[in-house]
Amino acid sequence: MQRVREQLKISSLGEEDGSGITAAVLDTGIGQHPDLAGRLIRFQDFVGRRIQMYDDNGHGTHVCGILCGNGSLSQGKYMGVAPGIRLVVGKVLDEKGDGSTESMLKGLEWVLRIREQCRIRILNISVGIGTLDEAGKEKQLREMIERVWDSGVLVICAAGNKGPEPGSISAVGGSNKAVTVGCHDGSYALDSPGRCETYSGRGVEGAAFRKPDLVAPGTDIVSCNVHYYRLRGKFRNAYVAKSGTSMATPIVSGAAALALQKFPQMTNAECKQKLQYTATDLHLPWNQQGWGMVNVERLLRVDF
Compute the C-alpha angle 178/182/186, nearest 5°.
140
Compute CA 39 distance to the chain's CA centroid, rounded to the nearest angstrom: 16
Which residues are CB-neighbours of 137 under 8 A, at least 6 positions away?
101
Nearest by Cα to 197 from 187, 185, 188? 185
With beta carbons less than 8 A apart as the criterion, state whether 72 and 129 touch: no
Whole-angstrom Cα distance, residue 54 to residue 32? 7
Nearest by Cα to 138 from 106, 108, 170? 170
Nearest by Cα to 170 from 215, 203, 195, 137? 203
Per the annotation, the verdict on 59 as an active-site residue is yes
Q: What does the chain come to in residues?
A: 304
- Annotated active-site residue in 59, 184, 185, 243: 59
For residue 144, give the amino acid letter. M
Compute CA 75 distance to the chain's CA centroid, rounded to the nearest angstrom: 23
Whole-angstrom Cα distance, residue 102 to residue 109? 11
With beta carbons less than 8 A apart as the criterion, state whether 89 and 110 touch: no
Task: State the CB neighbour count (10 A cutoff) for residue 113.
Answer: 11
Q: Using the 8-state DSSP alphabet, how is residue 300 labeled?
A: T
Q: Is 292 helix (H, G, I), strand (E, B) or coil?
A: coil
- Annotated active-site residue in 126, 170, 243, 246: 246
Per the annotation, the verdict on 213 as an active-site residue is no
- Annotated active-site residue in 17, 27, 55, 56: 27
Whole-angstrom Cα distance, residue 81 to residue 112? 25
- Catalytic residues, by residue number, are 27, 59, 246
